[in-house]
Amino acid sequence: MKLVRNTGNDRVVNLVSNELTTSHSLDVVTQHLSIFGFAALRETLTRSARTRMILPPVGSDLLLLGDDADRAARNRLQTRWLANKCEEWLRDGVEVRPTAASIPQGVIVVRDADGEPQRVVYGAFSLTTTGLGVTPGNPLSLIQASETAAEAQPLSTWFEALWGSLAPKPVEKQSAVDALHAMAAHGAPRSAYALILHQLFGALENGLDEEQIVKSATGIRNTVVWNKLYKFQRDGVVGAIDKLNRFGGCIIADSVGLGKTFEALAIIKYHELRNDRVLVLVPKRLRDNWTIYKANDRRNLLAADRFNYDVLNRYPKRGPRSSMRDRESADSA
């Protein structure tokens, strides 16, 4: 037996690719099966005359989407295509039997047309990019490969005994096939958008600490506008203040009627209490909507908060006819 460094040209993926031909068969014991590991061996696996695979019990995490090392591969946006190809291969070209316990190490046995073992790879690897040596793995992983048919025989016999002791369970294989099918299916745009937002802000929002973000010493909790906010609006204000502090900008994109104006006024008041100057830029037709909160007017529900922000607006863009009328007026004058 020889040690496999799993780097350079001395990798599991090279050993299997070089050994397996169309007349050969393949036996595999693996804890994980990622679509990117499948991609690295796709041409090799699909030309195997027969493939038998032992997987962990149903419900185990097969790492179908790979791990952190596969970030670059996921960014190529081939996930659906690879999942579809892996599903076809697993469904039509692989016999699967599950174990009752986790699998501590990986085994690959390459057999010739007569079923005799030609090469065995054994050790701390699985059908993933790190396990196959496509991406850097744990340097402490110990992997060995046979150099002669005689060395391959004992592990080949071990696999045959293990395979014979496991009953075929189509439901277990179908579980993995269904997971790949769901991964390859078209998703609704709304679901994709929600997933993107969750990945970007999910962990972030769960960690928001109102007391840490909104300084009590400013007195914001004693203002009229703060006490008029509902709980979900206060959460929006806290999140917006946090993003302004960290990113320098924020968009409040709530639906109509959910109180975006009062949320913005609370954010403005918070910064005014910190002696920051605030400028509000609005279309001309909305100017009165914002200046009312600065006025000593009975319509101003927030008069006690004494807002002091500046309001600026731009005039509507003039069309060709307006410009012509302006020139005519100037000429007549």
Q: Which helix (H) or strand (E) holds 52?
A: strand 50-55
Using CB atoms within 10 A of its CB, is residue 158 exposed (0-12), middle (13-18) or buried (19+)? Answer: middle
- Which residues are registered as beta bridge partners of 122? 107, 144
pLDDT in tens, 110-163: 999 899 999 999 999 999 999 999 999 888 999 999 999 999 999 999 999 999
Count Cα neighbours of 225 within 13 Å in the Cβ-side half-sphere. Answer: 26
Condensed to tens digits (0 to 9), the pLDDT of residues 50-72 reads 999 999 998 899 999 999 999 99
Which of 92, 87, 107 shows the shortest CA–CA distance to 50?
A: 92
Residue boundaries of the structural domains of the chain: 2-186, 190-314
The tokens describing 306, both together, are 């004494």
- At 191-237, the pLDDT tens digits run 888 888 887 777 655 556 676 678 777 888 889 999 999 988 988 89
Q: Please choose, from the candidates 198, 99, 142, 168, the residue with its C-alpha nearest in 3D space to the C-alpha of residue 5.
A: 142
CATH class as words, domain 2-186: alpha beta
d(CA 171, CA 97): 10
pTM over 0.85: no
